[in-house]
Amino acid sequence: MSGQKKEIPDTDLRLKKEQRDRLKETYGEIIEGDLPERYCDKDPIVAVGDVVTDILLKQGVVPNVSTIDHKTRRGGYKSGTSKKDAFDIEFDIKNPPEMISRPAWIVMEKALKNEKPVLIEVEGEEDLLSLVAIILCPSGGLVIYGVPSEGMVINEVSEEFKEKAWEVINNMIKVNEGR
């Protein structure tokens, strides 16, 4: 769908109920365990999720950007690694469940431009921020997110993945438009 709108929204977005099943489809390689060596030197690497971030840090891979919400499977998550030591810069944002807040776009864009590792702590839910990361990440970078009971999904960012992400974004409900 090359004729679709490709502008960063100036409003919060809410996922439509009918989009939920589509987002269960995974695009990219699903792996269990550590990040394969062939991906470790990709730049940038964006980790979306607490468990994914922990797996990478335990492996010695510090993501350029990591988003966490201190939850997994909608329950609390106690990390086994100290994220504060791994990241030089930290942003705090609010992003309600099933939404992408306008500030999430701004912070992700700043984080990806930074040369030092950035931790984005989300009050709410970070799941949909993988879409933001795919859109804003340069082609060739990695966006990695977790799928419960399956493993990690590795998206090597390409124009094809960006198109799929824009398709979802452009079909979301605009909330607080023009804020």
pLDDT in tens, 71-85: 776 555 565 556 668
Does this model's pTM top 0.95? My answer is no
| Long-range residue pairs from 110-117, CB within 8 A, at least 24 positions apart, any chain | 111/64, 111/65, 112/44, 112/46, 112/64, 112/65, 112/136, 112/137, 112/138, 114/64, 114/89, 116/87, 116/88, 116/89, 117/62, 117/63, 117/64, 117/65, 117/66, 117/86, 117/87, 117/88, 117/89
Residue 48, pLDDT > 80, answer: yes
pLDDT in tens, 111-137: 999 999 999 999 999 999 999 999 999
28 — pLDDT class (breaks 50, 70, 90): confident
Round the average pLDDT of the chain to a whole number and report it: 89
